[in-house]
Amino acid sequence: MRRQIYFPTRIGDQVIWLTNFRITLPLHATALGLSSAQLAAILLDVDNALYALESYRSALGPANTGCHQCVKDALYGDTVPGNIVWMSFSPPPGAPASVPHGCLKRVFAAITDQIKPAPGYTTMIGEALGTEGPAASAPSPTTAPGLELRTTGGGRLEVVWTKKKFDGIKLQFDLGTDGRHSDIDLRPNYILDWLPPAGHSAIIKLRARFIYKGEEFGNWSEWQTWTLTGV
């Protein structure tokens, strides 16, 4: 299934996230318009997810592969028939009331279908619940593209660059006697559609700057030189 961007990747952090969600959701249930039955169903799924990740999984030895599959089915196996059955060894005490498989997927579905669309949902509530994704950090204002130059078909110059979080790059070329030339590339990589006359060589220079949110951003890269020969 698609990973939820607000849900941690490390199991220890997942336990912390679920515990916080378990404590915080009842505080905002009224604002989110959750009925007592809806709240109880979500919390029971959370309890089963916590038991699977914290108590049951921690009690497993490395050889109990069937039990590890049981944990996976309990969390994500909504196509597995029947309710969760804690198998193959005496499970630790404190198991919550059993629910159908896929309890964590149902928690995610409740967040997507019930909690976030609720009229009372706000960014502040989402941050308290942990259901807002991490804020994307802005790129450094001094960043500059790293360029790699190579020859492509027909002897033309290819400028290799990495897009990252940027919209594209603006390129400037010094073509010698042919003057300055500028262009924009929104999808790597860029091929310069220029060659000197057949049989002649020219040393050109080029540099680039990122485009971010439609504007030129960061610093220009250092000028690089390349020799092109007309064919």
In this prediction, residue 63 carries a pLDDT of: 47
* Neighbour count for residue 155 (Cβ, 10 Å): 11
* Neighbour count for residue 147 (Cβ, 10 Å): 19
Predicted confidence (pLDDT) per residue in 176-186, tens digit:
989 999 999 99
Q: From residue 83, give the alpha-carbon distance in Å to each of 21, 79, 86, 92, 98.
A: 23, 11, 10, 18, 6
pTM: 0.53
138: tokens are 């802005």
217: tokens are 């951003």
In this prediction, residue 136 carries a pLDDT of: 62
In this prediction, residue 179 carries a pLDDT of: 93
* CATH 2.60.40.10 intervals, the chain: 148-229
In this prediction, residue 64 carries a pLDDT of: 62
| CATH fold of 148-229 | Immunoglobulin-like (2.60.40)
- Stretches where the chain sits below pLDDT 70 are 1-3, 61-66, 87-89, 135-136
CA 153 to chain centre: 35
Q: From residue 198, give the alpha-carbon distance in Å to each of 97, 154, 160, 202.
A: 80, 12, 25, 11
User: What is the overall mean pLDDT for the chain?
Assistant: 90
